[in-house]
Structure 1
């Protein structure tokens, strides 16, 4: 994946997160950008997810995604709680319902 495309996808996901929840705190951890509801507790229940750039895609990860409403089966992962979507293009942000999953993460 082209680095410019990757950066644009990440920036767009972060902007959507800020639009959906203006009070969300953005931080850097685990090699990516994380979303926390309370910066005093970034590693506990406050960490709701993040966005990470990899060689061939961008992953948007949700700490409690296993409990999300996902009627189209877009979320991947088999962990006890975490789920993610892989984005290969800017259009995947809408196609993979990133805003809907971010809304659920912030609820």
Structure 2
């Protein structure tokens, strides 16, 4: 993990919008707490997280934050919140901190982490 690049990206997001920064940071902390083997890097303009292989990313846009799952099409969607129609990826669009609980983000993070973590 390049902490300088991560810190720079977070500083840039904070300078643009404090609420989006808080949302990104809350998601980041949730992902990193999944296990000791979770790593992060700045890639594709956001934060990409891996555990054996990449499993999710957090991307900040002008009016929302997207939590994207690398193999999201293979994840169960018990709460019907995954968006996207691509062959592999799915995402959850978040506009406010309350969306984390309302859209059951922790459930999906756990599923994605389990699918990516080495046995």
Are 2:37 and 1:23 aligned? yes
Q: Which runs of 5+ in 1 are unaligned?
A: 39-45
Q: Alignment partner for residue 80 of structure 1, among 64, 72, 87?
A: 87
TM-score by length of 2: 0.79
Higher relative contact order (CA 8 A, sep 6+): 1
Instruction: Give the distance between the partners of 1:100 and 1:58, measured in 2 at CA.
Output: 18
Are 2:19 and 1:5 aligned? yes
CA RMSD of aligned residues (A): 1.2
Q: Which runs of 5+ in 2 are unaligned?
A: 1-15, 115-119
Instruction: Give the distance between the partners of 2:35 and 2:101, measured in 1 at CA.
Output: 18
TM-score by length of 1: 0.87
Question: Which is helix-richer, 1 or 2?
Answer: 2
Instruction: Give the distance between the partners of 2:78 and 2:112, measured in 1 at CA.
Output: 16
**Residue correspondences, number:** 99
**Greater Cα radius of gyration, structure 1 or 2:** 2
